[in-house]
Chain A
Amino acid sequence: MLAHLPILQVIVPLMAAPLCLFLTRPRLVWLFTLIASGLAFLISCILLQQVMTTGTVIYELGGWDAPWGIEYRIDQLSAFLLLIISAISTVVLFAAHTSIRQEIPADRHTLFYVLYLLCLAGMLGIVATGDAFNVFVFLEISSLSTYALIALGKDRRALWASYQYLIMGTIGATFILIGIGLMYQMTGTLNMDDLSRRLPEVAQTRTVFTAFAFVIVGICLKLAMFPLHLWLPNAYAYAPSIVTAFLAATATKVAIYLLIRFTFSVFGLSFSFTHLPLQILFLVLGLLGIFVASTAAIYQTNIKHLFAYSSIAQIGYMIVGFSVSTVAGLTATLLHLFNHALMKGALFLALGAVMYRIGSVQLNHFQGLGRQMPLTMAAIVIGGLSLIGVPLTVGFVSKWYLVLAVIENGWWPVAVLILLGSLLAIVYVWRIVEIAYFKPALAGTETIKEAPLSFLIPVWILVLANIYFGVDTRLSVQVAQAASQSLFGLSP
């Protein structure tokens, strides 16, 4: 049983998805989905523990040896990502039953859970697999279900956002497919481990450069890296609240994982960073992303839009850490990946609670909410503080590591720019606080009550995690450090 964990990680949600269709009662489907996701979480915990003690876990599908068969390869990085995805998915699901009753028509509830599980299975698959083509297949499983999930939104703009995402996402995925095809042409293998050994022999050919370019651009589209982020704000803003919370905390993280996996493991550090001006390119785009997206966030009147732009800015921080291309920089990226999942999970779930009570997330409807929904608003404030990077929250930890990594490289101006970017975060978080706490409540809103427990519990689990991992950083830092050291080929 324990030997089969890598495949169970993916198969459990994948098989649970069609089984949902046989359950008729909505509450039953919800419970079933929650159990499936919980099982995935449990498996990822055991896997992480296994990987941290005994090293990389390799699983051969159907017993076929690696370069011929598909293998699942769980190293520290994969195990870390698996844990983040399945944990966020499980926590978010707690609130799903309450939230979708208001936002999605009753006859589509079962389908929502089917899509949700497929999306989860797709993301876990991308992270678990060690086969390049398998990555494409799982990417499309998660993407297709994401498009459908976004289209479930109440507003008709959700349809339009979903369509735009579909066009851009498919172009991105097809780019990755072209890149994988070119790599296969040059090496005759699809196994990532095998690729990493055979690519250096042909590294100087134009085909490999083209393959690299296609893969990176394709991933950056999925990643919503500035300036390829155009699909993200509307997709997040008009999707149902639960979907936004789940996607914002996981989907872009999986894309970051792919970026790291392809540049570090498959193409190798020397190819990615010495033959191409990737470092300066990513540094500039990352910083631009931080400033452009944070500034855009300040001018939003829809809070979901606001946090969506803030997500793009936070991706900028991860890209900056990535561009440093040292162990410390990558550690900062991985830490921020984990921490950002906690922040955005908490924030978007709290917004879901606001949506549940007042049916809107427009900024002016937040007037007086500080008194009417104190616990929910407190969660948003703590999440916001974490976004800014205030000490004792997770945001501080990752920004601290990022600034240290940048300074270690001697990039003083970049460190200053990172801190300036945080100032912009203060501005947009303050706008919410000001309206919610210092403006009188709107007329006719006296009846608004605190969000139900089914929201408050998952929101506060995430908020407390934000504080806990901001104080006790042992787990997250240790795993992130081990993962980045192994990516650089150093034994932890």
Chain B
Amino acid sequence: MLMGLYNYWVVVVLMMVGFYIVIAHGNLIKKIVGLIIFQTSVFIFYISMAKVDGGTAPILAEGIKLYSNPLPHVLILTAIVVGIATTALALALAVRIKEAYGSIEEEEIQKKDNQDC
């Protein structure tokens, strides 16, 4: 149970760690790091479920009958690209926020916003 589902335990732990960082930390960069960990756990989840017991890499070769499922790999390639785009955009926003507010701490930004109102 524990070892058989090893990959999935890793997925759940990473997912919760990432999610917790996003919620709990006030630093914008740390939030982004949390988001990346959260997304990465999903990538591992997809790749783990593609594994077929005893199957090899999905490359056609003679004498091999059993292959792992290649579709989730392809899906996750797309998701990784999306993840990179999200991270890049988030970091760019963090840079702009630093320029505009002089801080990347959530509390200070909120305080400055409240003064503006």
* A446 CB to nearest chain B CB (Å): 28
Contact bitstring B1-29, A, C-beta under 8 A = 1, else 0: 00000000000000000010010000010
Q: Which residues of A contact B89 (CB under 8 A)?
A: 144, 147-148, 166
Name A's interface SS.
Answer: helix
Does B56 reach chain A (CB closer than 8 Å)? Answer: no
Q: Given A144-B85, A159-B93, are A185 and B22 also a contact pair (CB < 8 Å)?
A: no
Does A133 contact B93, Cβ atoms closer than 8 Å? no
**Residue of B whose beta carbon sits closest to that of A168:** B22
**Residue of B whose beta carbon sits closest to that of A162:** B93
Does A137 reach chain B (CB closer than 8 Å)? Answer: yes
Does B35 contact A167, Cβ atoms closer than 8 Å? yes
Does A156 reach chain B (CB closer than 8 Å)? Answer: yes
Q: Which residues of A contact B19 (CB under 8 A)?
A: 171
Does A185 contact B42, Cβ atoms closer than 8 Å? no
**Residue of B whose beta carbon sits closest to that of A145:** B89
Tell me the bound Cα distance from A170 to B97 in angstroms. Answer: 19
Q: How large is the interface on B (under 10, 10 to 19, 20 to 34, 35 or more residues)?
A: 20 to 34
Q: How many chain A residues touch B (Cβ–Cβ < 8 Å)?
A: 24
Q: Which residues of A contact B35 (CB under 8 A)?
A: 167, 170-171
A–B pairs, 8, beta carbons within 8 Å? A140-B86, A151-B96, A157-B113, A159-B97, A160-B101, A167-B22, A167-B31, A170-B39
Does A163 contact B100, Cβ atoms closer than 8 Å? no
Q: Which residues of A contact B78 (CB under 8 A)?
A: 133, 137
Does A166 contact B75, Cβ atoms closer than 8 Å? no
Does B42 contact A157, Cβ atoms closer than 8 Å? no
Q: Given A144-B89, A148-B89, A163-B28, are A181 and B96 also a contact pair (CB < 8 Å)?
A: no
Does A171 contact B38, Cβ atoms closer than 8 Å? yes
**Residue of B whose beta carbon sits closest to that of A161:** B113
Does B22 contact A157, Cβ atoms closer than 8 Å? no
Q: Given A140-B82, A144-B85, are A163 and B42 also a contact pair (CB < 8 Å)?
A: no
The B50-88 residues at the A interface (CB cut-off 8 A) are 72, 75, 78-79, 82, 85-86
Contact bitstring A128-158, B, C-beta under 8 A = 1, else 0: 0000010011001000100110010000110
Does A390 reach chain B (CB closer than 8 Å)? Answer: no
* A197 CB to nearest chain B CB (Å): 19
The A238-285 residues at the B interface (CB cut-off 8 A) are none
User: Which residue from A140, A147, A171 sits with its C-beta under 8 Å from B22?
Assistant: A171
Does B97 contact A160, Cβ atoms closer than 8 Å? yes
Given contacts A144-B89, A181-B46, A184-B49, 20 further A-B contacts (CB under 8 A): A133-B78, A136-B79, A136-B82, A140-B86, A151-B93, A159-B93, A160-B101, A162-B93, A163-B94, A166-B89, A166-B90, A167-B31, A170-B35, A170-B39, A170-B90, A171-B19, A174-B39, A174-B42, A177-B79, A178-B42
* B30 CB to nearest chain A CB (Å): 12
Q: Which residues of A contact B22 (CB under 8 A)?
A: 167, 171
**Residue of A whose beta carbon sits closest to that of B97:** A159
Q: Which residues of A contact B100 (CB under 8 A)?
A: 156, 159
Does B97 contact A163, Cβ atoms closer than 8 Å? yes
Q: Which residues of B contact A160 (CB under 8 A)?
A: 97, 101, 109, 113
Does A177 contact B42, Cβ atoms closer than 8 Å? yes
Does B49 contact A185, Cβ atoms closer than 8 Å? yes
Q: Given A144-B85, A162-B93, are A133 and B75 also a contact pair (CB < 8 Å)?
A: yes
Lowest 5 CB-CB distances: which A-B pairs, in order? A156-B100, A140-B82, A163-B93, A185-B49, A159-B97
Q: Which residues of B contact A162 (CB under 8 A)?
A: 93
Does B113 contact A166, Cβ atoms closer than 8 Å? no
Tell me the bound Cα distance from A181 to B42 in angstroms. Answer: 9
Does B49 contact A181, Cβ atoms closer than 8 Å? yes
User: Which residue from B39, B82, B90 sits with its C-beta under 8 Å from A163?
Assistant: B90
Tell me the bound Cα distance from A137 to B72 in angstroms. Answer: 14
**Residue of A whose beta carbon sits closest to that of B28:** A163
* A211 CB to nearest chain B CB (Å): 12
User: Which residue from B45, B79, B82, B93 sits with its C-beta under 8 Å from A166?
Assistant: B93
Q: Which residues of A contact B46 (CB under 8 A)?
A: 181
**Residue of B whose beta carbon sits closest to that of A137:** B78
Tell me the bound Cα distance from A137 to B38 in angstroms. Answer: 18
Contact bitstring A21-47, B, C-beta under 8 A = 1, else 0: 000000000000000000000000000
